[in-house]
Amino acid sequence: MAYDLSFAKDVYENAEEGHWIKMCMQCGVCAGSCPLGPHWEFSPRQLFQMIRAGKAEEVLKSESMWMCVSCYHCMVRCPRGLPITHIVHGLARFAVEKKRADKDQVTRRFAKILWENMERGGRIGEMALTTKLYMVNGIPDGVKKGMEMKDQAMSMLKSGRLKMDPLHLSRIRGHAGFKAMLKKAREIEQKKRES
């Protein structure tokens, strides 16, 4: 049934900043402000109305919320003060939680690799990250890309912009503390979810 509000209520309550969605007045300023707007299947405005209309599958399976580059243009402009950027990321995460998001979605994949890399050393290990990203489509493709970029890589190495650490062994100072901090954050998040 159209405009069955149960999905909307789920989003309002369980997606990050989801309760804001009901305040959208559909002016379209966000859609007009987004530098990636033309590439989205649904603009934030459309996503929000689809949520109210109960179009759960279309929203959750959509690629749209994965397109956001966090430029915050929409958010500073929204006349209703919606934290759009946060909502959009919240929806992406909500889609993951609802197991509707495509595993091979490039942004999703990139986000995962980036996060794991960062968590390992406490900061980005560029060499390991680049290698991993180059290899996502298989080793031959990765080698080819690596060869194409080797001149840049060499000069970056020489100027000290890239650290020689292919196995990603470097750790930040206080790495244990960093890990503990993340653990705590996860616990808090979990508790929030359970309540």
Partner 1 sequence: MENQKIGCYICTGCGIGDLLDIKLLEDMATKESRIPVVRTHAFLCGEEGLTTIRHDMQNEAVNTVVIAACSPRVHVETFRQLEAPLLDRVNLREQVIWVQHLKEEDDKDVFEEDRQMAAEDYLRMGCAKVKKMDPPEPFDDPGLSKTIMVVGGGVSGLTAAKEAADTGYDVVLVEKDAELGGRVAQMLKVSPVKPPYDQLEQPPTAALIAAVEGHDKIKIYKKATIKETTGAPGLFDVKIEYGAGEYSTGEDSTGEDSTGEDYSTGEDSTGEDSTGEDSTGEDSTGENSERIGAIVVATGYTLYDETKLTHLGHGTSPDVITAWEFEQMAKAGNIVRKSDGQPAKRVAFSLCAGSRDVQHLEYCSGACCTYSMKQALYVTEQYEDASTFLIYQEIRTPGQMEDFYRKVQNEGGVFIKGDINKVASGSNGGLTVDINDKLLRTPESLDVDLLVLATGMMPNIDTTDPNQETDLSASDANSVLNLQYRQGPSLPLLKWGFPDSHYICFPYETRRTGIHAAGPVRRPMGISSSMTDATGAALKAIQTVESIGRGAAVHPRVGDLSYPSFRVDGCTQCKRCTEECPFGAINEDDKSNPLFNPTRCRRCGTCMGACPQKIISFSNYSVDMISTMFKECEIPEEDEEKPRILIFACENDAYPALDMIGHNRGILTPYIRVVPLRCMGSMNLVWVADAMSAGYDGVLLMGCRHGDDYQCHFVRGSALAETRLNKVAETLDRLQLESERVKMIEVNIMDSDILPDKINAFVDDLEAFGPNPFKEF
Binding site for partner 1 (CB under 8 A): 1-3, 5, 8, 22-23, 25-26, 45-46, 49-50, 52-53, 55, 80
Site for ligand SF4 contains 76 (CB under 6 A): no
Find the shortest distance in angstroms from Cβ 77 to partner 1.
18
Closer CB to partner 1, residue 51 or residue 129?
51
Q: Which residues contact 129 (CB under 8 A, 6 or more apart)?
A: 113, 114, 117
Q: 36 touches which of ligand SF4, partner 1, none (CB within 5 to 8 A by kind)? A: ligand SF4
Site string for ligand SF4, 37-56 (x = CB under 6 A): -------xx--x--------
Site for ligand SF4 contains 71 (CB under 6 A): yes
Backbone angles phi, psi at 56, to 5 degrees: -60, -55
Q: 181 touches which of ligand SF4, partner 1, none (CB within 5 to 8 A by kind)? A: none
Give CA–CA dist 109/105, Å, rounded: 6
- Quote helix, strand, coil % in the chain, to nearest 5: 65, 0, 35
Query: Which one among 8, 11, 15, 34 touches ligand SF4, defined by CB under 6 A?
Result: 34
Taking alpha carbons only, the member of 57, 20, 14, 99 closest to residue 44 is 20
Residue 119, H or E segment? helix 106-121
Number of residues that bind ligand SF4 (CB under 6 A): 28
Give CA–CA dist 94/18, Å, rounded: 10
